[in-house]
């Protein structure tokens, strides 16, 4: 939304709006440029407009207003089959009455490619996803992960410059999903294609993308590389949507540059970095990642404000210890500690002091 | 490994595993059987037994065999007699039986039986039976003097055949065979009504099936893809005629299509037809086809709909995104997936059409009659065995089609909804 128009934009949404019923807008004034070879993820809760954007790009939905450009050309009026965009669907959409090889041959046949060329391409595409031995199977004889690979191969076999993926890993179990994330990422890197990926799984978005566009309410809330998105959310929606977050409501007591002092309802003071705060006295929502919360004084910067805390419970999670604390009137404040040798084991009822680096506490709009 | 599985497995207390399993499941199986028992009995008494009885009747007729014991005995003793010149003993037995028929009043039954294969026999038998008591030996000469037809070889062949209770004669008649003086032979071209009507019935049924398919496909597609509110309304429109009486629907077609009917009046009123040039769309094959297509349409729509409903729209989208035009998408992706529905609907409509009776009887006129109307005709003439033989042939041809369908497409792929 706030993005500068890129000069090398391969895909561009310009002031795109979409309404299904003429009453409400599903997509509100979308501006988005995607560079060539980029892996861009549209992330958001269901109903946020991300899938609609993908469908408009694929040509299955028409934009109510605005322009969609592919390689500098307006494609609003181009039918889907002439766009040359590969697409991977949520339920794979492999044709059940065709074998794997026939599925892969389909896009090549409709392009009038000769048999020899077709076979070479199919073989290459299948080898690419390590499914060379399955050419004569039918989709129903394959597992979910195998079907996913075939769907991927079919979307890539005709060498599209742009590939769209609509929650392609949604139906797979956790382990397979993580494995496929890396495979898709590697395919993207090796082939140099542009990928637009839609998901509601933030972990997927963070691990795979060059940039992530967080959608909510028909708008892009933030468009940034994964690390920025996680560490420097620009508004409270993004902060809450991506990863786990502690939220503290308060009022700006002092503001100098981006350094803010926030007074909590309990009367205590904390340090924070002002993000979208305009003035003193404004109400704010301070967000702090649980893994950035410290309880050992030596880990905190000198002069940092600390809060009184009481341990409610400690959950052992293997790699980390997760402590739920009573802090400043809220009793769901979470702190994560690495489970290292000699790590202090807290016990319920214990009184401690918690603090953090001011850069890790972000004062956002409430 | 293979030896281990063939070894008899036992339960912990040493009983064979298979017996233990059967005992454990016996109760559940008994209960399950009791549940389906009423249906089983119903099907047995209302379906299997009548069909079996019908098939038996197509092979069985004792009208002559039971009323002419002397001739039956003579035929049995002389299986190789010459029908062209039966000996005096045969005539003697015949006269004895004729006299018996007259006293027992069985002339009609016996004559009718012979009449099936040798037309004109009823009056011959009645005349013969009336005079039988007055005939004197030699019976051959006196009978032939009464009516020369008594010496016809075809008649003697017919009587020999009718002396057996079980016969394939009715199937021969139903396949347009004719008993001539030299035995069974193909009938003249113009006499071949049965096979012609069979062929016509199958052709018309196939035509109706194709028309139903063409009409039902878009409707079923709309039903499967429209939003809920609209598709429910459309579904009611499809089902409403289904719930209406068959007679009402058929007669309303008469009101629409007859020469002074709505359609003709409209066309004349619009000036598209002159008053003398009114179209004949009723009481002929056109009427039969139109009305039957309408009656059978839901049987095509519903199986198609049930298949189309579960085809996700993402297949079509995938095909489009892969570069296929909408026509290619339909032909190569959508149509093949509707095949089980097309097959089920076609089989259903075709089988129903082949045996259809009421509609052609009401709107078919002389030209639009199908084989079932002929069955009904023979039943009304009390020629049960011939009616049963034609019905048996119909049943056999449908079973053949069903078998072919199973071999070509596979009955397990059938989807009725």
**Per-residue pLDDT tens digits for A75-127:** 999 999 999 999 999 888 999 999 999 999 999 999 999 999 999 999 999 99
Please report the ipTM that was assigned to this predicted complex. Answer: 0.81
Q: Which of A319, A353, A357, A313 is nearest to A331 (CA)?
A: A313
Q: Say yes or no: B225 contacts chain A, CB-CB below 8 A.
A: no
Closest-CA residue of B relative to A163 is: B321
Q: Which residues of A touch B328 (CB under 8 A)?
A: 110
> Looking at the domain covering B193-413, what would its CATH class be?
mainly alpha
**Looking at chain A, which residues constitute the CATH 2.40.50.100 domain(s)?**
244-364
Q: Say yes or no: B317 contacts chain A, CB-CB below 8 A.
A: yes
Mean pLDDT, all residues of chain B: 88
Per-residue pLDDT of A199-256, as tens digits, reads 988 889 999 999 999 999 999 999 999 999 988 888 889 988 888 888 888 888 888 8
Mean pLDDT, all residues of chain A: 88
Q: Say yes or no: B328 contacts chain A, CB-CB below 8 A.
A: yes
The first and second tokens of residue A204, run together, are 């997927």
Determine what percent of chain A is predicted with pLDDT higher than 70: 98
Q: Say yes or no: A160 contacts chain B, CB-CB below 8 A.
A: no
Q: Say yes or no: A90 contacts chain B, CB-CB below 8 A.
A: yes
Closest-CA residue of B relative to A154 is: B322
Mutate to test the interface with B, among A80, A103, A125, A160 (most CBs of B within 10 A): A80
Q: Is the pLDDT of residue B2 over 70?
A: no
Closest in B317, B323, B326 to A158, CB measured:
B323
- Inspect the interface and report whether the beta carbons of B317 and A84 lie closer than 8 Å: no
pLDDT band at A5 (very low <50, low <70, confident <90, very high): very low
d(CA A38, CA A150): 23
**Per-residue model confidence (pLDDT) at position B1:** 41
Q: Which residues of A touch B323 (CB under 8 A)?
A: 81-82, 84, 107, 110-111, 158
- Inspect the interface and report whether the beta carbons of A60 and B317 lie closer than 8 Å: yes
User: What is the mean predicted confidence (pLDDT) over B390-406?
Assistant: 90
Q: Which residues of B touch A79 (CB under 8 A)?
A: 320
Determine what percent of chain B is predicted with pLDDT higher than 90: 40
Closest-CA residue of B relative to A82 is: B323
Per-residue pLDDT of B242-279, as tens digits, reads 888 888 988 899 999 888 889 999 999 998 888 888 88
User: What is the mean predicted confidence (pLDDT) over A60-84?
Assistant: 91
Closest-CA residue of A relative to B322 is: A107
Q: Say yes or no: A81 contacts chain B, CB-CB below 8 A.
A: yes
- Inspect the interface and report whether the beta carbons of B321 and A154 lie closer than 8 Å: no
User: What is the mean predicted confidence (pLDDT) over A119-136?
Assistant: 91
Task: Assign B193 to helix, strand or coil.
Answer: helix
Count Cβ atoms below 10 Å from residue B237 Cβ, excluding itself: 11
Q: Which residues of A touch B320 (CB under 8 A)?
A: 59-60, 79-81
Q: Which residues of A touch B322 (CB under 8 A)?
A: 81, 86-87, 106-107, 110, 154-155, 158
CA-based nearest distance A164→chain B, Å: 10
d(CA A291, CA A322): 9
**Per-residue model confidence (pLDDT) at position B413:** 65
Residues 6+ apart with CB under 8 A from B415: B303, B306, B307, B340, B341, B344
Q: Is the pLDDT of residue B33 over 80?
A: yes
**Looking at chain A, which residues constitute the CATH 3.40.50.300 domain(s)?**
9-236
d(CA B151, CA B31): 67
- Inspect the interface and report whether the beta carbons of B323 and A86 lie closer than 8 Å: no
Closest in A81, A91, A93 to B323, CB measured:
A81
Residue that is written with structure tokens 């090549």 in the block: A108
Q: Which residues of A touch B413 (CB under 8 A)?
A: none
The Cα-based distances of A360 to A185, A202, A224, A242 in angstroms read 29, 20, 18, 15
Residue that is written with structure tokens 């084989």 in the block: B371
What does the angle CA A132 – CA A136 – CA A142 come to, to the nearest 5 degrees? Answer: 80
Alpha carbon B178 to chain centroid distance?
A: 22
**Per-residue model confidence (pLDDT) at position B322:** 93
Q: Is the pLDDT of residue A299 over 80?
A: no
Closest in A81, A155, A158 to B320, CB measured:
A81
- Inspect the interface and report whether the beta carbons of B324 and A158 lie closer than 8 Å: no
Q: Is the pLDDT of residue B288 over 80?
A: yes
Residues 6+ apart with CB under 8 A from B352: B296, B299
Q: What's the Rg (C-alpha) of chain B?
A: 31
Residue that is written with structure tokens 């998901």 in the block: A199
Fold classification of A9-236 is Rossmann fold (3.40.50)
- Inspect the interface and report whether the beta carbons of B320 and A89 lie closer than 8 Å: no
Task: Assign A311 to helix, strand or coil.
Answer: strand
Q: Which of B376, B374, B400 is nearest to B173 (CA)?
A: B374
- Inspect the interface and report whether the beta carbons of A97 and B323 lie closer than 8 Å: no
Q: Is the pLDDT of residue A64 over 80?
A: yes
Per-residue pLDDT of B151-196, as tens digits, reads 889 999 999 889 999 988 899 888 888 888 888 888 777 777 888 8
Q: Say yes or no: A251 contacts chain B, CB-CB below 8 A.
A: no
The first and second tokens of residue B232, run together, are 């429910």
- Inspect the interface and report whether the beta carbons of A106 and B314 lie closer than 8 Å: no
B104-114 burial code (b ≥16 CB/10 A, e <16): eebbbbbbbbb
Task: Assign B204 to helix, strand or coil.
Answer: helix
Q: Is the pLDDT of residue A6 over 60?
A: no
**Per-residue model confidence (pLDDT) at position B84:** 86
Fold classification of A244-364 is OB fold (Dihydrolipoamide Acetyltransferase, E2P) (2.40.50)
Q: Is the pLDDT of residue B300 over 90?
A: yes
d(CA B19, CA B12): 13
Burial (0-12, 13-18, 19+ Cβ within 10 Å), B414 = middle
3-state helix, strand, coil in chain B (%, to 5): 75, 5, 25
d(CA A210, CA A231): 15
Closest in B319, B322, B337 to A96, CB measured:
B337
**Per-residue model confidence (pLDDT) at position B188:** 76
Mutate to test the interface with A, among B317, B320, B321 (most CBs of A within 10 A): B321
The first and second tokens of residue B246, run together, are 């068959």
Burial (0-12, 13-18, 19+ Cβ within 10 Å), A44 = buried
Q: Which residues of A touch B332 (CB under 8 A)?
A: 106
Query: In A, residues 23-62, which contact B (CB 8 Å cutoff)?
Result: 58-60
- Inspect the interface and report whether the beta carbons of B320 and A59 lie closer than 8 Å: yes
Axis crossing angle, helix B107-117 with helix B88-104, rounded to the nearest 10: 130
Closest in A85, A89, A97 to B337, CB measured:
A97
**Per-residue model confidence (pLDDT) at position B303:** 92
d(CA B389, CA A312): 90
User: What is the mean predicted confidence (pLDDT) over A7-36?
Assistant: 89
| Domain spans, chain B | 2-49, 69-187, 193-413
Q: Which residues of A touch B330 (CB under 8 A)?
A: none
Q: Which of B164, B184, B160, B165 is nearest to B174 (CA)?
A: B184
Closest-CA residue of A relative to B316 is: A93
User: What is the mean predicted confidence (pLDDT) over B308-326?
Assistant: 92
Per-residue pLDDT of B51-102, as tens digits, reads 999 999 999 998 899 999 999 999 999 888 888 888 888 999 999 999 999 9
**Per-residue model confidence (pLDDT) at position B259:** 86
Four-CA torsion A155, A158, A161, A162, nearest 10 degrees: -20
The first and second tokens of residue A214, run together, are 């967080």
pLDDT band at B414 (very low <50, low <70, confident <90, very high): low
Residue A15 Ramachandran class (φ > 0 left, ψ -120 to 50 alpha, else beta): left
Q: Say yes or no: A112 contacts chain B, CB-CB below 8 A.
A: no
Closest-CA residue of B relative to A155 is: B322
Determine what percent of chain A is predicted with pLDDT higher than 90: 45
**Per-residue model confidence (pLDDT) at position B213:** 97
Closest-CA residue of B relative to A107 is: B322
Q: Is the pLDDT of residue B298 over 80?
A: yes
**Per-residue model confidence (pLDDT) at position A109:** 93
């Amino acid at each position: 939304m706030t993005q500068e128009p890129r000069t090398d934009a391969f895909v561009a949404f310009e002031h795109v709006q979409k309404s299904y019923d003429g009453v409400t807008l599903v997509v509100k004034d979308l501006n988005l440029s995607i560079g060539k070879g980029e892996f861009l993820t549209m992330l958001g809760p269901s109903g946020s407009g991300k899938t609609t954007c993908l469908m408009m790009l694929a040509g299955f939905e028409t934009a109510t207003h605005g322009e969609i450009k592919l390689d500098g050309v307006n494609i609003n009026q181009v039918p889907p089959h002439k766009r040359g965009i590969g697409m991977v669907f949520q339920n794979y959409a492999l044709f059940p009455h065709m074998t794997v090889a026939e599925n892969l041959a389909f896009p090549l046949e409709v392009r009038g490619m000769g048999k020899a060329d077709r076979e070479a391409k199919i073989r290459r595409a299948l080898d690419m996803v390590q499914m060379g031995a399955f050419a004569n199977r039918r989709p129903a004889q394959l597992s979910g992960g195998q079907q996913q690979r075939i769907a991927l191969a079919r979307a890539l076999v005709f060498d599209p410059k742009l590939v769209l993926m609509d929650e392609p890993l949604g139906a797979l179990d956790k382990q397979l999903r993580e494995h496929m994330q890396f495979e898709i990422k590697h395919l993207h890197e090796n082939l140099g294609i542009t990928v637009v990926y839609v998901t509601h799984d933030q972990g997927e978005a963070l691990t795979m993308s060059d940039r992530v566009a967080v959608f909510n309410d028909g708008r892009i809330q933030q468009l940034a590389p994964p690390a920025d998105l996680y560490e420097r959310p620009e508004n409270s929606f993004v902060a809450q949507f991506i990863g786990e977050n502690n939220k503290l409501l308060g009022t700006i007591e002092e503001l100098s540059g981006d350094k803010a002092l926030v007074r909590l309802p309990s009367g205590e003071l904390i340090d924070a970095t002002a993000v979208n705060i305009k003035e003193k006295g404004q109400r704010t929502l301070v967000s702090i990642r649980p893994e950035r919360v410290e309880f050992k004084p030596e880990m905190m910067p000198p002069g940092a404000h600390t809060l009184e805390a009481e341990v409610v419970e400690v959950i052992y999670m293997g790699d980390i210890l997760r402590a739920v604390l009573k802090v400043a009137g809220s009793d769901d404040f979470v702190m994560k500690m690495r489970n290292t040798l000699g790590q202090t084991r807290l016990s319920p009822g214990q009184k401690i002091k918690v603090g953090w680096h001011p850069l890790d506490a972000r004062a956002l709009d409430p | 490994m293979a030896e281990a599985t063939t070894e008899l497995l036992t339960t912990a207390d040493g009983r064979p595993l298979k017996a233990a399993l059967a005992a454990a499941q016996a109760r559940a199986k008994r209960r399950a059987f009791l549940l389906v028992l009423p249906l089983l009995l119903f099907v047995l008494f209302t379906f299997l037994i009548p069909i079996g009885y019908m098939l038996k009747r197509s092979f069985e007729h004792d009208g002559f065999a039971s009323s002419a014991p002397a001739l039956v005995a003579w035929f049995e003793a002389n299986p190789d007699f010459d029908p062209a010149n039966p000996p005096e003993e045969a005539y003697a037995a015949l006269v004895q039986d004729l006299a018996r028929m007259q006293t027992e009043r069985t002339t009609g039954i016996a004559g009718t039986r012979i009449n099936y294969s040798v037309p004109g026999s009823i009056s011959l038998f009645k005349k013969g039976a009336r005079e039988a008591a007055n005939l004197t030996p030699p019976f051959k000469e006196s009978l032939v003097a009464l009516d020369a037809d008594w010496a016809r070889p075809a008649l003697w062949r017919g009587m020999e055949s009718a002396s057996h209770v079980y016969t394939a004669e009715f199937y021969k008649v139903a396949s347009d065979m004719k008993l001539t003086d030299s035995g069974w032979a193909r009938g003249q071209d113009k006499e071949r009504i049965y096979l012609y009507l069979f062929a016509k019935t199958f052709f018309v049924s196939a035509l109706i099936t194709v028309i139903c398919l063409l009409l039902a496909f878009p409707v079923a597609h709309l039903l499967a893809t429209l939003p809920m509110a609209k598709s429910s309304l459309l579904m009611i429109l499809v089902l409403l005629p289904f719930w209406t009486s068959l007679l009402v629907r058929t007669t309303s077609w008469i009101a629409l299509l007859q020469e002074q009917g709505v359609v003709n009046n409209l066309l004349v009123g619009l000036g598209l037809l002159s008053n003398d040039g009114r179209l004949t769309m009723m009481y002929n094959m056109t009427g039969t086809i139109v009305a039957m297509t309408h009656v059978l349409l839901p049987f095509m729509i519903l199986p198609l709909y049930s298949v189309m409903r579960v085809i996700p729209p993402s297949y079509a989208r995938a095909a489009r995104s892969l570069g296929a035009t909408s026509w290619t998408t339909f032909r190569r992706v959508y149509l093949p997936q509707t095949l089980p529905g097309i097959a089920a609907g076609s089989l259903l409509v075709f089988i129903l059409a082949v045996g259809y009776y009421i509609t052609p009887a009401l709107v078919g006129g002389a030209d639009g009659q199908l084989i079932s109307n002929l069955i009904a005709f023979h039943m009304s003439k009390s020629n049960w065995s011939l009616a049963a033989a034609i019905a048996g042939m119909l049943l056999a041809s449908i079973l053949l089609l069903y078998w072919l369908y199973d071999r070509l497409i596979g009955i397990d792929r059938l989807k009725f909804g």
